[in-house]
Amino acid sequence: MASAACAIQAGLEVIEVTFTLPSAARAIERLRHDHPAALIGAGTVRTVAELEDAAAAGAEFLVAPGLNSQLVEAARIRGLPILPGVFTASEVDEALRLGVEMLKLFPSEPLGPAYMSALLQPFPAARLVPTGGITAANAGAYLKAGAAAVAMGSSLFPGARIAADGPRVVAPLVAEALAAVR
């Protein structure tokens, strides 16, 4: 929670709170309250129950690790944008058939921007958001290769460093990442 607040204060406008954390719903609710200008979403949403908890907490978008048509439909009914995880052409094709155009490309590394660019060739309507290995050093290459946006996790929120030195370590990482994508 404190790390997310530091990231927002450093200029990050979008935060995804992962549902691998037991207090994810509470964190989403508090971040929405404390930082109304930021876009706060729920990540690693795998079940309809988690989707409902995220929606009740005020999540403004959802991110799933895989392509799950049940979650896509539940999100559509709720009016919540969802970025399902895809990796193969078959998954991208299925997601587009389900009406989802913004997709989480996961994992993005080790195959890199060239793989993402090749995946976009037969699917020009797909808007891919690579995650999983994205850093300030490679984010620009993904954007040049056609990414709609990039998502960074541990490169902005390094758990061991935060545990050792506190949430303040996040601010310079956010500043470096923002400089790299601008």
Summarize pLDDT for 38-53 with one digit per residue, the tens.
999 999 999 999 999 9
Task: Name the band, by pLDDT with cuts 50, 70 and 90, for residue 1.
Answer: confident
User: Which pLDDT value is given to residue 14?
Assistant: 97
> In the predicted model, is pLDDT for residue 18 greater than 90?
yes
Burial of 156 per CB tally in 10 Å (0-12, 13-18, 19+): buried
In the chain, which ranges are E strands? 14-18, 39-43, 62-63, 82-83, 85-86, 102-105, 127-130
> In the predicted model, is pLDDT for residue 16 greater than 90?
yes
Backbone φ and ψ for 110, nearest 5 degrees, come out as -95, 0
Average pLDDT over residues 19-41: 96
Residues serving a catalytic function are 16, 104
Average pLDDT over residues 70-79: 97
User: Which pLDDT value is given to residue 96?
Assistant: 98
Per-residue pLDDT tens over the stretch 103-122: 999 999 999 999 999 999 99
Per-residue pLDDT tens over the stretch 122-150: 999 999 999 999 999 999 999 999 999 99
- The dihedral over CA atoms of 21, 26, 27, 29, expressed in degrees to the nearest 10, equals 140
> In the predicted model, is pLDDT for residue 182 greater than 90?
no
In order of their start, the domains of the chain are 2-171 (3.20.20.70)
User: Which pLDDT value is given to residue 123?
Assistant: 97
Do strands 102-105 and 39-43 pair parallel, antiparallel, or not at all (unpaired)?
A: unpaired
Closest CA to 67 of 109, 103, 43, 41: 103
Angle between helices 170-181 and 2-9 (to 10 degrees): 40
Closest CA to 100 of 63, 56, 133, 131: 63
